[in-house]
Amino acid sequence: MKLNRRSFLASSAAATAVMGTPMILRAQPSEYVVASSLPLTGPFATAGQLVSPALKMFEALVNEDGGIGGVPIRTTIEDSGYVPAKALANYQRALATEPNMVMYYGDSTGFMKLVAPELKGENATLMGSTSFASDLANPAENPYQYLPGPSYEDQVDILLQNIKDAGGTTVAFIFSNTEFGRDPIEHGRKRAEELGIKVVLEESTKPQGADIPTHVTKLAQSGAEHCILQGYVTGVWPQLIGGARQFGLPTQFHGTFWGMEKLIADRVTAEAGPFLSGYSGVMPYRYSYDSADAPAYQRYAAFQKKAFAGTPLENYMPTWGLQSLASLNLGIEALRRVANKGEEITADRAAEELAGISDFDMGGFFGGPVTMKDNKIGTGRVYTYDAETTLFTPSSDWLTV
Partner 1 sequence: MGQIAQYAINGLMSGAIYALIAVGIVSVYKATKVVNFAHGYLIMFGAYFYYTFAVIFPGMDWAPAWLASWQPGWMTEMREGLTMFSPMGAVLDWAANLPRIVFGLAGALVCNAILGRIIERVLMRPLMGQSVFAMIMVTVGLISILSGGAQLIWTADADFVPTIAPNTPLRFEMFGTMIFLFGADLVNMVIALLMFGGIVLWVRYTKGGIAIRATAEDQSTAYSMGISVPKVFSRAWVLASTTGAIAGAILATRNGISPSLGLFGFSVLAIVLMGGLDSYVGVFIAAMSVGVLEAMTQWKMGGDWAEIVPYVTVLVVLIWRPHGLFGQKEVERI
Which residue ranges make up the site for partner 1 (CB under 8 A)? Answer: 40-43, 45-46, 48-49, 177, 202-206, 208-209, 211-215, 217-218, 220, 233-236, 238-239, 243, 245-248, 264, 267-268, 270-275, 312
User: Is residue 281 helix, strand or coil?
Assistant: strand
Q: Which is nearer to partner 1, 53 or 148 (CB)?
A: 53
Q: With CA atoms as reference, report the closest residue to 279 among 162, 392, 357.
A: 392
Residue 176 phi/psi, 5-degree rounding, is -75, 150
Q: Which is nearer to partner 1, 176 or 329 (CB)?
A: 176
* Burial group, residue 141, by CB count within 10 angstroms (0-12, 13-18, 19+): exposed
Q: Which helix (H) or strand (E) holds 195?
A: helix 185-195
Cβ 247 to partner 1 shortest distance, Å: 6
Q: Which is nearer to partner 1, 157 or 203 (CB)?
A: 203
Q: Which is nearer to partner 1, 272 or 307 (CB)?
A: 272
Q: Which helix (H) or strand (E) holds 339?
A: helix 319-340
Cβ 177 to partner 1 shortest distance, Å: 5
**Do 143 and 163 form a contact (C-beta atoms < 8 A)?**
no
Q: What is the DSSP letter of 345?
A: P
Torsion angle of alpha carbons 280, 284, 290, 291, nearest 10°?
Answer: 180
- In one-letter notation, the amino acid at residue 380 is G
Q: Which is nearer to partner 1, 239 or 384 (CB)?
A: 239
Cβ 242 to partner 1 shortest distance, Å: 8
Cβ 56 to partner 1 shortest distance, Å: 17
* 121 C-beta neighbours (distance < 10 Å), count: 8
State the DSSP string of 74-97. Answer: EEEEEE-TT-HHHHHHHHHHHHHH
Cβ 184 to partner 1 shortest distance, Å: 16
Cβ 248 to partner 1 shortest distance, Å: 7
Q: Which is nearer to partner 1, 220 or 401 (CB)?
A: 220
